[in-house]
Amino acid sequence: MAETSLPLETTPAPGAGAGPRINGLVVGLACLALLVSVPFIAGALGDAFYVRVVTRIMIFAIMAISLDLVLGFGGMVCFGHAMFVGAAAYVVGIAGFHASSGDPLVLAGLQIPGSTNAFVVWPLAIATSALLALVFGAIALRTSGLYFIMITLAFAQMLYFVAVSAQTYGGVDGLTLDTVPTLGPIDTGNRQQLYWVVLVALVAVLLLCRRIVNSRFGLVLRASRFNETRLSAVGVAPYRYRLAAFVIAGAIAGVAGVLLASSQAFVSPADMSWLRSGELIVMVVLGGMATLYGPIIGAFFYLLAEFGLGHVTEHWQVVMGPLLVLVVLFGKGGLAGLVPAAWRGGAR
Amino acid sequence: MKLNSLIAATAAAAALLGGVAAQAQEQEVRIGLLTTLTGPLAPLGQHVRDGFNLAVEEAGGKLGGVTTKVVVEDDQLRPDVAVQLATKLAERDKIQILTGVIFSNVAMAALKPAVENKVFFISPNAGPSQLAGKQCSPWFYATAWQNDQPHEAMGAHLQASGVKKVYLVAPNYNAGKDAMRGFKGAYKGTIAGESYPSMNQLDFAAEISQIRAAKPDAVYVFLSGGMGVNFTKQYAQARLGAEIPMYSAFTIDAITLPAVGEAAVGTFQSNLWNADLKIPANEKFVAAFQKKYGYLPSNYAAQSYDTARLIGAALRLSGGKADDKKAFAAALRNAKFESVRGPFAFNSNNFPVGNFYLLETVKRAGGKVEQVTRKTILTNAKDNYFGDCNMAGL
Amino acid sequence: MSLFLEQLLNGLQFGMMLFLMASGLTLVVGIMNFINLAHGTLYMAGAFLAVTFQLLTGNYLLALGLGIAATALLGLLIEVLVAQPLYKRDHLDQVLCTFGIILFLNELARMIWGSAPLRMDVPKVLDGSVDIAGIGYPSYRLAIIAVSAAVAIGLHLVITRTRLGMLIRAGAADRTMIVGLGVNIQLLYALVFAAGAALAALAGILAAPIFTVQTGMGDHILILTLVVIVIGGIGSVHGALVAALLVGVIDTVGRVTLPAGFGNVLIYLLMAMILFWRPRGLFPAHG
């Protein structure tokens, strides 16, 4: 990886520099106000579809933020991040499937009934993602460089093919969710109600990540990205920190996964393919790595492309390709880099 | 910040478009054409789109006398994308009819948004067994076939021809398994072996070796797109075609034939349509299609063309009322039009009752390789699932 | 017994084609520390260009030669425009840029040649079968094995017996040292990149008569190639050969013996296991 000087000298220590942080707070609140107003604007226009679009963007933003934790801040190029999203989504899907059919899931001699109670299914799904991240991370983090990329890709492919082989749950065609979980009185199948749930989740994730990144834990993580030798010289072993970050990121990805299942009312192996992982990486990089708002911007623009560019020309990839190259070669810090540093908020 | 102005701009645009859409509802029929336009199977989507557009053009832009607006979307053969697009077509573009869907996994994914929004889903190709049977819906119509039927047809043909042992090859996903089950329903001889290669497999040397070792009398293949082309070429290179003739469905057609070439000569296919069918409507269609687009239509184009003409006939019958759901549904079921495939009628489960033909690939004197219709295998064939269908009302 | 032998031959042939792809890529990654995801599109470019040249000249050998040369030039173009600025950047930037090239070239191929698959015929002289232990094995596939083996021997000779080969081995083992030796690094890198492109093109052209020539045909083979070079050890051509044969045979035999679907997982499981035991692959060039 590239050799650059440690950012420790240049980053303001947590607590210091009230100026930049207040500006970041203002920008954050402005965006929040905008997001809060979307359902009302859409209602006034009679175009409820926009609520769905923004919900999807916010869910992808959560995925991208969780990836940014390991990729942007931790410097780990994980090509399998989508598997944590997909695994959680599938847990929700499978629970719903058994709830609809009435037959319980038979696993290791136990008869597990289906459920559409979010208080039961969601923690289970998120815990599954975290566990997968722990197991895969523990093995993968022993390697580095291209080997790390390849082994994360391999794990993602393995999980993908397991999903494809599961013909009961649709296999490669995917699984339609006839009923989506209810969070107490909230029906996540109702797009308005889901919107608020997702918005709250996004804000919570942002605050959590901000906390993590600015803590001592976050400091070590960011340091491990740039200069491992110096870190070891100070007596800190990066492996445990990286693994912890990996698991946290996996859990947050799991949150995105359960929300995705409700939003789509559909889950398929495509939600955990290496291509989806690649798209997440593009979102993080385009938006601006190692920033907290960057992934949100990246998700917004990438999904805009998903909906819009296809209309402009069916050959949009011939533009997207070189655009990507140019952004990587010349765009320092992605789209978020266009915003003055004082406004960016979060770390760095 | 950039984000703000972007959202403001899109909101403004939405306001404009929303206004326009609300106005035009009375005078037009809005049809969503959701098909596969990118990826290795894009040619099929192109045929579907072109066939549909030809029919609309022939009707002067007004199917059944009603101004027709077609919104084309690309599902990329991804069910997750299809869900988003079907939702968008139903909620933003306010379509009354959804069509164009080629693949069953896409169809199943797009069904929920369509039904929720009371959109008529008229599939020009995909005919999943669930929708023909237990999960039949008053909103879903298939105008081509139920997926198992071409396989059943070939199975019936091989059974009637006295072929004793057959080896089966199909892709490893639900549709592939369904297909072989359909074949085995009609074919009562011995199954010498079965291979289910995975979806992106390119090299079938291993499967061909297995076939050779099993010594069947015939091999029955269902492999679409590039998989089918690869298998056919490799099978020909292995020189097995003389002892073990190759029969197939969905594998060799007007789209894949140019890529396969002479390797397909001597093989047989079952299909609901062929360019040489001696039906007046068909002869006109093939000529018009070639004249407008410069290439030979496949059955996908023909099916899509028929779908558009069915919609036109239904609109005429219902007096142009695409928004009166009950009236339009009744019209769809009862509309009469000249199908390019031969006789056409809907069964009780909204799936078609039609003919299936045996095609042989031959090489002409000038060197051109084409498919020739040899005989009608099944006449007015119904699928096996309609008995399970308890069709609800709208 | 003869079925097993036939499947072994199939696996061998598949493995040899993977070797052609892997040998070029392992050198690019090993010597220049450059992750070139666009390697698969070079395979595709070779096939498309050869089909066009064959239509123009009607001669297979001419099409083969021109296709390889044209793709090598394309490789040089990519090296100068995209790879050179990226040598000093980290792997992620390289992955993203070369991924952008994949999008670009795939779509460009579709715009030029259309989305329907193209056909390339097996040269008439090879359009037959050879009797091996009672089976008629397609001559063309045997030819692929023979050509790939010849390339393998040629590469071995270049790498072990020539000065260029010595520089390649030294570069793979310790990049910074060869700069110190006063070698024209830019020329060496360009040469290795072009050679990698040529090898990928050869693989693509050999594959064209058996597989469809279609946009995106390089994507699937890219993943397998990455698996091979990781198993074999980055920077080692010998490792690539061993790994390619291993992957080819296991994939082929696995497909026909295991239940459907498991065959795909097998390769990745194999890679994960090998990496667990040997985190740098079987024969890493670096110490």
Q: Residue A140 maps to which CATH number?
A: 1.10.3470
Domain range for B260: 149-271+356-381
pLDDT over 70 (residue A311): no
Q: Indicate whether A19 belongs to any domain.
A: no
Closest Cα in chain C to B214: C3
Chain C residues within an 8 Å CB radius of B46: 115
Q: Indicate whether B53 belongs to any domain.
A: yes
Among residues B159, B158, B149, B138, the alpha carbon closest in space to that of B179 is found at B149
8 Å CB contact of A328 and C100: yes
Buried b / exposed e along B180-197 (16+ C-beta atoms within 10 A): bebbbebbebebbbbbbb
Reduce the secondary structure of C104-173 to three states and give it as a string.
HHHHHHHHHHCCCCECCCCCHHHCCEEEECCEEEEHHHHHHHHHHHHHHHHHHHHHHHCHHHHHHHHHHH
Chain C residues within an 8 Å CB radius of B238: 129, 136, 138
| Alpha-carbon gap, residue A172 to A175, rounded angstroms | 9
Which candidate in A3, A139, A142, A146 is best for mutational testing of the C interface (most C CBs within 10 A)?
A146
Helix and strand numbers (H, E) in chain C are 12, 2
CA angle (B187 as vertex; B142, B183 as ends), nearest 5: 35
pLDDT of residue B26: 55
Q: Which chains touch C (3 or more CB pairs under 8 A)?
A: A, B
Cβ proximity of C3 and C135 under 8 Å: no
Q: Which chains touch A (3 or more CB pairs under 8 A)?
A: B, C
- Both B304 and B264 in one domain: the answer is no
Non-local (6+) Cβ contacts of B64 within 8 A are B29, B311, B312, B313, B314, B315, B316, B317, B320
pLDDT of residue A334: 65
Query: What's the average model confidence in pLDDT over A45-60?
Result: 84
pLDDT of residue A336: 62
Which candidate in A157, A226, A228, A274 is best for mutational testing of the C interface (most C CBs within 10 A)?
A157
pLDDT tens for chain C, residues 1 to 287: 578 888 888 999 999 999 999 999 999 998 888 999 999 999 999 999 999 999 999 889 999 999 999 999 999 999 999 898 898 888 888 988 998 899 899 989 988 998 778 888 888 888 888 887 777 788 899 999 999 999 999 999 998 899 888 888 887 777 677 777 777 888 889 999 999 999 999 999 999 988 888 888 888 889 889 999 999 998 889 999 999 999 999 988 888 888 766 777 888 888 888 888 888 889 987 64
Write the single-letter amino acid at B324.
D
- Both B76 and B215 in one domain: the answer is no
Three-state secondary structure call for residue B344: coil
Between A17 and B71, residue with greater pLDDT: B71
pLDDT of residue A154: 85
User: Sorting pLDDT into bands at 50, 70 and 90, what band is A261?
Assistant: very high
Q: Indicate whether A43 belongs to any domain.
A: no
8 Å CB contact of B92 and A49: yes
* Total of domains in chain B: 2
| pLDDT tens-digit series, residues A93-152 | 999 999 888 788 887 777 788 888 889 999 999 999 999 999 999 988 888 888 888 889
A residues 123-162 lying closer than 8 A (beta carbon) to C: 139, 142-143, 145-147, 149-151, 153-155, 157-158, 161-162
**Looking at CA atoms only, how far is residue B21 from chain A in angstroms?**
11
Cβ proximity of A250 and A132 under 8 Å: yes
3-state helix, strand, coil in chain C (%, to 5): 75, 5, 20
pLDDT over 80 (residue A281): yes
Residue A321 sits at the chain C interface (C-beta within 8 Å): yes
- Counting residues of chain B whose pLDDT is more than 70, the rounded percentage is 93
**Looking at CA atoms only, how far is residue C253 from chain B in angstroms?**
8
Q: What is chain A's Cα-based Rg?
A: 20
pLDDT over 70 (residue B14): no
* Total of domains in chain A: 1
Domain range for A97: 52-310
Between B1 and A91, residue with greater pLDDT: A91
8 Å CB contact of A77 and C95: yes
Q: Indicate whether A295 belongs to any domain.
A: yes
- Both B371 and B340 in one domain: the answer is no
pLDDT over 80 (residue B7): no
8 Å CB contact of A321 and C105: yes
Chain B residues within an 8 Å CB radius of A52: 87, 91
Please state, rounded to an integer, the average pLDDT across all residues of chain A: 82
DSSP annotation of C193 reads H
**Looking at CA atoms only, how far is residue C126 from chain B in angstroms?**
10
pLDDT of residue A13: 43
Q: Indicate whether B391 belongs to any domain.
A: no
pLDDT of residue B57: 96
Residue B65 sits at the chain C interface (C-beta within 8 Å): no
**Looking at CA atoms only, how far is residue A119 from chain C in angstroms?**
34
- List Cα–Cα distances, A332 to A288, A290, C96, in angstroms: 8, 12, 14
Tokens for A23, please give them.
């500006």
Query: What's the average model confidence in pLDDT over B202-224?
Result: 92
Q: Indicate whether B390 belongs to any domain.
A: no
- Both B217 and B337 in one domain: the answer is no
Q: Indicate whether A123 belongs to any domain.
A: yes
Between B9 and A251, residue with greater pLDDT: A251
**Looking at CA atoms only, how far is residue C62 from chain B in angstroms?**
21
- Both B249 and B365 in one domain: the answer is yes
Strands (E), chain C: 129-132, 135-138
- Both B318 and B362 in one domain: the answer is no
Among residues B371, B369, B373, the alpha carbon closest in space to that of B262 is found at B369
What CATH number corresponds to the domain at position B40? 3.40.50.2300
pLDDT of residue A115: 85
Residue C121 sits at the chain B interface (C-beta within 8 Å): yes
For residues C164, C64, B228, B218, the Cα torsion angle rounded to the nearest 10 degrees is: -110
CA angle (A84 as vertex; A81, A89 as ends), nearest 5: 130
Domains of chain C (ranges; CATH) run 2-277 (1.10.3470)
8 Å CB contact of B177 and A268: no
Bridge partners, residue B354, by sequence:
B381
| Total-model pTM | 0.80
Q: Indicate whether B7 belongs to any domain.
A: yes
Chain C residues within an 8 Å CB radius of B255: 116
- Both B27 and B100 in one domain: the answer is yes
pLDDT of residue A332: 61
Tokens for B142, please give them.
């298939």
| Alpha-carbon gap, residue B262 to C258, rounded angstroms | 33
Most confident option among A25-34, A167-176, A262-271, B273-282 = B273-282
Cβ proximity of B213 and C3 under 8 Å: yes
CA atoms within 13 A on the CB side of B289: 29
- Both B90 and B153 in one domain: the answer is no
- List Cα–Cα distances, B169 to B216, B259, B306, B384, in angstroms: 12, 20, 30, 22
Cβ proximity of C252 and B195 under 8 Å: no
pLDDT of residue A5: 39
pLDDT over 70 (residue A7): no
| Alpha-carbon gap, residue A87 to A267, rounded angstroms | 10
| pLDDT tens-digit series, residues B84-131 | 899 999 988 999 999 999 998 899 989 999 999 999 999 999 999 889
Strands (E), A136-237: 175-176, 182-183, 186-187
- Both B62 and B135 in one domain: the answer is yes
| Alpha-carbon gap, residue A182 to B164, rounded angstroms | 56
**Sheet with B28-35, edge to edge strand ranges:** B62-63, B66-74, B28-35, B97-99, B120-123, B140-142
3-state helix, strand, coil in chain B (%, to 5): 45, 20, 35
- Counting residues of chain B whose pLDDT is more than 90, the rounded percentage is 73
pLDDT over 70 (residue B197): yes
Non-local (6+) Cβ contacts of A252 within 8 A are A62, A65, A66, A69, A205, A208, A209
CA angle (C142 as vertex; C137, C148 as ends), nearest 5: 160
- Both B100 and B214 in one domain: the answer is no
Among residues C138, C150, C127, the alpha carbon closest in space to that of C6 is found at C138
- Both B126 and B33 in one domain: the answer is yes
Chain B residues within an 8 Å CB radius of A34: 3-4, 7
B residues 223-252 lying closer than 8 A (beta carbon) to C: 225-226, 229-230, 233-234, 237-239
- Both B38 and B129 in one domain: the answer is yes
Q: Indicate whether B388 belongs to any domain.
A: no
DSSP annotation of A346 reads S
Residue C165 sits at the chain B interface (C-beta within 8 Å): no
**Looking at CA atoms only, how far is residue C216 from chain B in angstroms?**
8
The partner residue sitting opposite A318, judged by closest CB among C35, C104, C276, is C104
Q: Indicate whether A164 belongs to any domain.
A: yes
A residues 200-259 lying closer than 8 A (beta carbon) to B: none
Chain C residues within an 8 Å CB radius of A165: 260-262
Q: Indicate whether B218 belongs to any domain.
A: yes
Residue A13 gets the label, from left (phi > 0), alpha (psi -120 to 50) or beta, of: beta
Q: Indicate whether B389 belongs to any domain.
A: no
C residues 40-99 lying closer than 8 A (beta carbon) to B: none
Closest Cα in chain A to C38: A321
CA atoms within 13 A on the CB side of A48: 11
8 Å CB contact of B230 and C211: yes
Q: Indicate whether B250 belongs to any domain.
A: yes
